[in-house]
Amino acid sequence: MITLKHLAEQLNVSISTVSKALHDSEEISPDTIERVKALAKHLNYKPNKVAISLKNSKTNTIGVIIPNILNHFFAKALYAIEKEASKQGYNIITCLSNEKKDKEMNSLQLLSNGSVDGFIMSMAEESQIANNVDHIKDILHQNIPVVIFDRVSESIACDKVIIDDFGAAYEATKHLLSEGRKHIVLISNIDDLSVGKLRTNGYMEALSEAANYDNKPNVIIIKTNDAIEAPIEDLFKNHPTVDGIISIDNTSGVVALQKAIKLNYKIPQDLSIIGFSDENVLQFTDPKLSTISQHTLDIGKSSVQLLVDRLKSKDQVKPIIKTIKTKLILRETTK
Amino acid sequence: MITLKHLAEQLNVSISTVSKALHDSEEISPDTIERVKALAKHLNYKPNKVAISLKNSKTNTIGVIIPNILNHFFAKALYAIEKEASKQGYNIITCLSNEKKDKEMNSLQLLSNGSVDGFIMSMAEESQIANNVDHIKDILHQNIPVVIFDRVSESIACDKVIIDDFGAAYEATKHLLSEGRKHIVLISNIDDLSVGKLRTNGYMEALSEAANYDNKPNVIIIKTNDAIEAPIEDLFKNHPTVDGIISIDNTSGVVALQKAIKLNYKIPQDLSIIGFSDENVLQFTDPKLSTISQHTLDIGKSSVQLLVDRLKSKDQVKPIIKTIKTKLILRETTK
DNA sequence: TGCTAAGTGTTTTAGTGTTATCATAATCTT
DNA sequence: AAGATTATGATAACACTAAAACACTTAGCA
């Protein structure tokens, strides 16, 4: 690795002269600047990032903690985070908590030793179920900024990026009601998560406000590691009259669609289905699934922007909560 | 941030003493060691990673360059890489080339300034089409180790992790032939990639070896950004007698399955379909897609192991090419 | 003309946090 | 009292940069 020292020795000048020359300092003669730059280019000199980080006490690196990269929502969020971070001159160190609180805690601890300037994260399922957030508060106490997106906790005072989960499910339910649906079921395999509960509440509220809706709310909860298919098959067996399904996670909707097709439901004539997710590989279903789009790219981008703003501002601004608009996208599984 | 200096001042000892005490040096008295450790723990001292990296000229960080994180194969590879790296005490800096050669080159350049000890990457589509690999060779010339997985180039001499693409497609084709299929079509939307070409060759070879197979090979190539659905609909329209489909990417197989169901093909009686990919969300199709599993977790894990070995060994071992076994997994879309 | 003041281009020094090496002082053996 | 042992401290090095110091030249002015 070429260093300032190498350049200085070859040019018979001091290290600082080289440093200043490379920074186009006014103090250095044009001639020297030129000679230094020529040699630097010739030897493909690159300033050592580690040394600069040490000097400046900042790394221009963001720690990103993702609960589950195999979940398309998080893959897309990571995509957006990387893109915006890169644009702003930051690298990202990626950690995958795999929904484990211990791994999440470990990653925060390991990177809070000067490795990163701040964190962007979404909470692991385990942390969220137990509302176990002390490890995150620890980081904040060390004055390392944290931005949490999607899966947040009210007990942490930091910047957050969320969507209006309640409103999104409320709107989707309203839509099915407006289609004249009489038996609307909600399917969730994320009931343990904050966002899951909020979305369920939105569904409940919309139904309770509906004047001429006679059926009781029907929420089918699928536990995290259970098979998705069996409960959905049971649903169609026990309640063949179901005519509206809202899936509030990003897989059960597509499973419901597959099963309904297999059982010869006419979609959307007999049955409407609304999923929850950005467009993704599931778009290849036929008919195409109507979904609530979370605008995942905006979520990722906003998270980076909040963090970068926080890193740049010296004075303590109080926590900002940014809500990203969702959009009900009607494709072919709704009337 | 708490430093050795802080501890030293508070304890009225020198910085070296503190450092030694924290490392359980024999030179330091048990009493002092205890006092130092107590205070360190109390103040939550963590050795500054950046300073240690500077001192040791190594970062324990791996740069990972992924062509497309929205592709399930790469998401899973990243998952495996992160897991193994974490186990071996390395962090990963993730860069997404988004199939662009420029972004790939940029990431390599930006991180080759001491930010990472080595790279794990899979080549961007652009780089691979043009066999544009000088930027990767540059890194190798700087003595920074690189491991390339899946999408490789023969003109680069470095460690690689690949699968037997030819053999995998050959075996799958053989299987369909053994089912007595008479019109086997191959669908590919990765014809520009090295792996795509190899897989296609495997299919061709298997067919050419088949004694009583009368149809010509039929390869449907879908260009990267084109819609997948139209060519597949055309296939069924123009060749309704198709009775075997091999998809060598990880999406077209599931689209073919959807379309076939819609057209009332009985699967697998009338038509067998084999996809190419690990299990993923697509497992929710009904019937379940038979696939060639790439053992993506092994690919990621092996990549990390090769890199770590390379980083640890002083002497130049010549490049290692590791081939991961694939497995034909027969589910419900094959007889 | 001679002195100071200002300007120019460079080097020296110090500091970022850590650790390895060498030095030193105090205590203990013999 | 010389030598060994024990505990601690000082220094240098990693690569870099900001600030201070240093020569040297030139300009301004009595």
Tokens of B90: 């390395």
B35: CATH? 1.10.260.40
Domain count for chain A: 3
Q: What percent of chain B has pLDDT over 90?
A: 90
Beta strands B290-293 and B272-276 are parallel
Show Cβ contacts of residue B129 under 8 Å, excluding neighbours closer than 6 positions. B192
- At B226 the pLDDT is 79
Residue B122 belongs to a domain: yes
In angstroms, the Cα distances linking A269 to A243, B135, B190 are 9, 56, 37
| Distance, Å, A2 CA → D9 C1' | 34
Mean pLDDT for the stretch of residues A25-36: 89
* A interface test, pick of B69, B108, B278 with most A CB neighbours within 10 Å: B69
- Estimate in Å the CA A58 to C1' C12 gap, whole number: 26
**Is A251 an 8 Å CB contact of chain B?**
yes
Residues A184 and A237 in one domain: yes
- What band does B59 get if pLDDT is binned at 50, 70 and 90? very high
- Are A282 and A304 in a shared domain? no
Strand D: which positions are within 7 A of a protein CB?
6-11, 13-20
Residue A310 belongs to domain spanning:
58-163+296-325
- A314: pLDDT strictly greater than 80: no
Assess B47–A contact: CB distance below 8 Å, yes or no: yes
- C1' (C1) to CA (B278) span, angstroms: 93
The answer on B271 and B206 residing in a single domain is: yes
The CA distances from residue A304 to A62, A235, B152, B226, B287, in Å, are: 9, 41, 32, 32, 41
pLDDT digits (tens, 9 = 90+) for B99-147: 999 999 999 999 999 999 999 999 999 999 999 999 999 999 999 999 9
pTM for this model (two decimals): 0.95
Provide, rounded to the nearest whole percent, the portion of chain A with pLDDT above 90.
87
pLDDT in tens, A68-91: 999 999 999 999 999 999 999 999
CATH number of the CATH domain containing B65:
3.40.50.2300
Test the B interface: residue of A59, A94, A141 with most B CBs within 10 Å: A94
Structure tokens at A22: 């490379």
CA distance A114 to chain B (A): 6
Assigned domain for A35 exists:
yes
Domain match, B189 and B273 both: yes
Indicate if B189 and B274 belong to the same structural domain: yes
Cβ neighbours of residue B312 closer than 8 Å, sequence gap 6 or more: none
Q: In this structure, are B102 and B186 located in the same domain?
A: no
Contact list in B for residue A304 (CB cut-off 8 A) is none
- Per DSSP, B319 falls in state P
Q: Judge if B200 and B226 occupy the same domain.
A: yes
The shortest CB-CB distance from A115 to any of B49, B79, B95 is to B49
Q: Does the distance separating the beta carbons of B54 and A51 come in below 8 Å?
A: yes
Helix, strand or coil, per DSSP, at residue A164: coil
Gap from A286 CA to C18 C1', Å: 61
Last residue of a domain, one of B47, B65, B82: B47
Nearest to A70 among B75, B96, B228 (CB): B75
The answer to whether the CB atoms of A114 and B51 lie below 8 A apart is yes
Torsion over CA: A226, A228, A232, A233 (sign): negative
Mean pLDDT of chain A: 94
Question: What Rg value do the Cα atoms of chain B yield, rounded?
Answer: 26
Residue A201 lies in a domain: yes
Q: What would the mean pLDDT of B270-293 be, rounded to a whole number?
A: 84
- Measured CA to CA, the distance from residue B199 to residue B209 in angstroms comes to 16
Residue A333 in any domain: the answer is no
Question: DSSP strand E in chain A: where?
Answer: 61-66, 91-96, 118-121, 146-149, 159-163, 184-188, 218-221, 244-247, 272-276, 290-293, 321-324, 327-329
pLDDT of B281 above 60: no
Same domain, A183 and A285: yes
Q: Please tell me the distance from the alpha carbon of residue A299 to that of residue A322, in angstroms, as a whole number.
A: 9
Confidence of residue B315 (pLDDT cuts 50, 70, 90): confident
A175 shares a domain with A276: yes
Q: Are residues B157 and B69 in the same domain?
A: yes
Which of B44, B50, B262 is the closest to A286 by Cβ? B262
β A218-221/A159-163 pair status: unpaired
> Is B317 a member of any domain?
yes
Residues A131 and A173 in one domain: no
Q: What is the pLDDT of residue B279?
A: 67
Cα angle, residue B152 at apex, residues B149 and B155 outer, rounded to 5°: 140
Alpha-carbon distance B278 to nearest alpha carbon in chain A (angstroms): 12
Best interface-test mutation with A: which of B91, B95, B109 has the largest number of A CBs within 10 A? B91
Please compute the mean of the pLDDT values over residues A287-292 and round it to a whole number: 92
- Determine the nucleotide nearest to B7 by Cα–C1' distance: C17
Kindly tell me if the per-residue pLDDT of B79 is higher than 60: yes
pLDDT at A281 over 60: no
Question: Looking at residue A78, what is its pLDDT?
Answer: 98
Give me the torsion for CA of A161, A166, A167, A171, rounded to 10°: 140
Q: Are residues B206 and B216 in the same domain?
A: yes
φ and ψ at A148, to 5 degrees? -110, 135
Does residue A332 form part of some domain?
A: no
Residue B259 lies in a domain: yes
Cα A239 to Cα A180, A244, A245, A259, B38: the distances in Å are: 18, 11, 12, 14, 64
User: Does B227 map to a domain?
Assistant: yes
**At A279, is the pLDDT very low, low, confident or very high (cuts 50, 70, 90)?**
low
List, for residues B193-232, the tens digit of each pLDDT value: 999 999 999 999 999 999 889 999 999 999 977 788 899 9
Full 3-state SS string of B192-224: CCHHHHHHHHHHHHHHHHCCCCCCCCEEEECCC
pLDDT band at A282 (very low <50, low <70, confident <90, very high): low
Give the amino acid at A107: S
Among B75, B93, B110, the residue with its CB nearest the CB of A92 is: B93
